[in-house]
Structure 1
Amino acid sequence: MTASVKAIANLALSRRSFSAAILAVLAMPQHVRAQQPEPRITALDWAWAETLLALGTRPSAIAEAELYRERVVTPELPRDVIDLGLRSWPNMELLKSLRPDLILSQAGYGVQATSLEAVAPTLALPLFTPERRPLQLAEAGLDAIAARIQREQKALQYKTEFEQKLSEVRASLRSYDGRPLLIAKFADERIFDIYGPGSLFDDVLGRLGLENAWTKSGNHWGFSTSGLDAVARNPEARLVIIEPGPPEKLFDSALWRAIPSVKANRVVTIPPTWVFGALPSALRFASILGRALQPS
């Protein structure tokens, strides 16, 4: 077990005894419990927001709610969830006014946990670290959140379903030709973010038995930013583009058509999938990719 996973597993109860409060509610008779308001949980990071939703718990507020709906997509975010502004710097006055019972954040990103603790008990969980194992940390994060809100059984159920669905996707890919994949997203008209070791998508490819054509370690989040020449230098790869796809001007250009994977019609485009997500994003990516790689 890695140091980060151990740290998550051994998280202490907060000074405001959030878990004790949840246990007290669960101990109430059902008719009394039904009258109790749900804990107000704020998620400043989309990975932990989608994890909370996967556990069947609705966040009262998250950062950049509308962009979540565009880029993360599923699990679906209820329309009445309050938007707290930027993930990197949320509206702290609004956050304080909501009086949350718990704040979920990503360790090492955005507002420091020490500042958030002054507002409410905070669970700051690591996901992208020097260990470069985001899928493992995503599962550890699911367990940590579930333990904090007393949803351990739901977490176990979700992990079982996750493994089953990954196995189904892997089985569906038995007819795939085995060609390495280049997973890319346009950063601008001619620049790609390409996902390699240390990215969530690289971990998913490994679980599906697929080869990643991009072996460079890249940055802290596991991607490298490169031009079209990087794609051209991988002539045997199948290019997987996360929407939005290439701008129309580039798509119609001789430069684009000269790329080997484009010339050979080895390009697939998949719907938006959150590249910095947790288990739900990993599952969405696996499911969409599995369908995209089926023979036409």
Structure 2
Amino acid sequence: MSSLLPWRRSARVAAVALAGVVLVTLSACGDSSSDASTASTSESAAAGAFPATVATKFGDVTIDAKPERVVALGWSDAETALALGVQPVGASDWLGFGGEGVGPWAEGKYTTAPTIIKTLEPEYEKIAALKPDLILDVKSSGDEERYATLSKIAPTVGIPADADAYLTPWRDQTTMIATALGEKEKGDELIAQTEALYKKYADENPEFAGKTITVGSKTSEGWGAYVEGSGRVAFAESLGFKNNPTIQAQAKAGEFSVSVSEENLKMLDADLVTMSPIYIEAKEISDNALFKAVPAVKAGHAVVLDDQNISQAFATESPLSIGYALENVVPLWKAALAG
């Protein structure tokens, strides 16, 4: 796995991505008999979704009945389940949010906090003790031994057949999780709403179309940049940007990032450069003399995401976090391109 791990203003932003689902849910408000009828219809529809079969890298997984106790281990799997109205009893906190293990855009989605499970090396006994009837590991390493161990505990939905480690696209992730939870229709609505949000921001910022962008990070171990297939680059591409061709030329199959040595930081040069600090101070990027010498940076066409919430929303790439990231990242990119 690469050393560059795939990493308020208000909860209103998260709600934008779910507007279609919410409108459907609220359409019967004010009439208790209608509410009861809607709930009954929803339960019947969910029951009719089973048995459900989800194709994964390690074969088809069949879920016989609607899951009641879900453990979500993959990157943003828990947030995706929450967006679909399901609260995992156990979840992994990949970005170290603490508490419920989700970002501020997902605050209030839990009524009972989940048990937090380690990320790279999940605690199998702890997971088993939760007595799950479904495990989600949809955006993860795709390690066969990990999958086999989890599958002995409960039906496990792993990465897609054609995906690499941590490179499950958010649309596939949403569809797979929605199918496993018996919420396929909600999943489709959620994808449509999120795509509409991307389109809105792309249409409002036509100057992004065709511009090259470097999306990178710096950790205590060094510099790197993300390649096509990674969530951060997909976010930029959805707005019309093209990934830095110099970086993309270094891409290797199955890897979501490439390392960039400090003496070669000019490889980062593009129409726009965006960097995220990972477990370091932002000034370790912005104050670096060689970084400041990159032509785009020198010209003012660079953004260092020094706000942790914004940086983490950009990295999370869940239907709940995407709206938050769009609202906060797009104005920074717009200003930097014009700078």
- TM-score normalised by the chain length of structure 1: 0.75
1:223 maps to 2:223: no
Task: Work out which of the residue numbers 206, 224, 233 in structure 1 matches 2:237.
Answer: 206
1:291 maps to 2:331: yes
SS in 1 for 2:122: coil
1:41 maps to 2:70: yes
1:272 maps to 2:311: yes
1:13 maps to 2:46: no
Unaligned runs of 5+ in 1: 1-5, 23-37
1:114 maps to 2:166: no
1:57 maps to 2:94: no
Within 1, Cα distance between the matches of 2:164 and 2:156? 23
Unaligned runs of 5+ in 2: 1-53
Offset, 1:291:
2.3
Tell me the amino acid that sits aligned with residue 255 of structure 1. L
Give the 3 Å change call, closer, same or farther, for CA 8–65 of structure 1 in structure 2: closer
Partner residue, 1:87: 119
Offset, 1:223:
0.8
Q: Percent identity?
A: 19
Within 2, Cα distance between the matches of 1:285 and 1:128? 27
Provide the aligned C-alpha RMSD in A. 3.5
SS in 2 for 1:193: strand
- TM-score normalised by the chain length of structure 2: 0.66
Give the 3 Å change call, closer, same or farther, for CA 44–177 of structure 1 in structure 2: closer
Within 2, Cα distance between the matches of 1:81 and 1:153? 25
Q: How many residues align?
A: 267
Offset, 1:265:
1.6
1:157 maps to 2:206: no
